[in-house]
Structure 1
Amino acid sequence: MVTAITLGVKISVETTYQEEHSNPANAHFMFAYRITIENLTDYAVQLKRRQWFIFDSNGTQREVEGEGVVGEQPVIEPGASHSYVSGCNLNTDMGTMSGNYLMYRIADDRDFIVDIPEFELIVPYRLN
């Protein structure tokens, strides 16, 4: 698991290779990732947008940006957390993802950026 804290918001990431949804012969490797967002501050925050940077080990780079996560813009109360699972496909058997969330602090009507730490997407046989 990879974890980072930015301005009192803790992001933790766990990844899983999805062998049943992958097709290595056709350069299709599917990964799932679980993100847990913990609000360690004294005020409610809302996740408004996400921005991802996806890197394949062959040098291919992609950027994905959009509103919320998996169709939601969750409000996370102080001391609470929000988790979701999503996925990413690569053309190679290893790569990385990183990014950020645009968060909104409800108490003072301010936006701020929270970093999503870089995490690896690696097919298990590459770890040996």
Structure 2
Amino acid sequence: MVQQITKGIKISVIPRFEGTLINKQRECHAFSYTITIENQSKVPVQLLSRHWIIKDSLKPIEIVEGDGVIGVRPLLPPGEKHAYSSGCLLQSPFGSMEGHYIFRNPNTYEKFKIPIPLFKLHAAFALN
């Protein structure tokens, strides 16, 4: 597990290798990750958007941006958590992901960036 706290927002990530499959006639390695966002600050926050940097050792860096996470823009009062799972396909059995979320304080409308810590993606069969 990888964890980081920034401005009272704790981001925890658990990555997993799910297996190898054929996608568009190419071998791909499927990875999932579960992210828990915990508001440890004293004010409510709302997640507005995400920005991902996906590194695959066999491909150029991929940037993915979007609204919310898995179709929602969770509002987190102090002490609340939101967890979700998602995934990606890599050509290589090795890669990594990192990025950031944009949050807003719904009381003041102030927006701020919270980093998503770098986490490694690796298939166990490829490790020595």
TM-score where L is the length of structure 2: 0.93
- Shift in Å at residue 127 of structure 1? 2.9
**Counting strand residues as a fraction of each chain, which structure ranks higher?**
2
Instruction: Kindly report structure 1 stretches of 4+ aligned residues shifted beyond 6 Å.
Output: none
| Equivalent residues in 2 for 1:45-64, closer than 5 Å | 45-64=45-64
SS of residue matched to 1:125: helix
Counterpart of 1:35, as a letter, is: I
8 Å contact kept, 2:59–2:91? no
2:9 paired residue number: 9
Instruction: List alignment gaps of at least 5 residues for structure 1.
Output: none
User: How far apart are 1:58 and its partner, in Å?
Assistant: 2.3
CA RMSD in angstroms, aligned pairs only: 1.6
Give the structure with the larger helix fraction: 1
Corresponding position of 2:41 = 41
Structure 2 alignment gaps of length 5 or more:
none
- How many angstroms apart in 2 are the aligned matches of 1:127 and 1:77? 41
Query: How far apart in 2 are the matches of 1:18 and 1:29?
Result: 8
Q: Find the aligned partners of 1:60 and 1:95 in 2 and give their Cα distance.
A: 11
Does residue 18 of structure 1 match 2:44? no
Contact 2:57 2:92 in 1 (8 A): yes
Structure 1 residue 45: deviation in Å? 0.4
Shift of 1:59: 4.8
Equivalent residue, structure 2, for 1:76: 76
Partner residue of 2:110? 110
Q: Percent identity?
A: 39
Distance 1:3 1:79 in 2: 17
TM-score, normalization by structure 1: 0.93
Query: Partners in 1 of 2:9 and 2:46 — Cα distance?
Result: 11
SS of structure 1 residue aligned to 2:107: helix
* Secondary structure in 2 matching 1:72: coil
Q: How many correspondences in the alignment?
A: 127
- What do residues 9-47 of structure 1 show as CA deviations (whole Å, max 9, x unaligned)? 01000011111x634983311100000000000111000
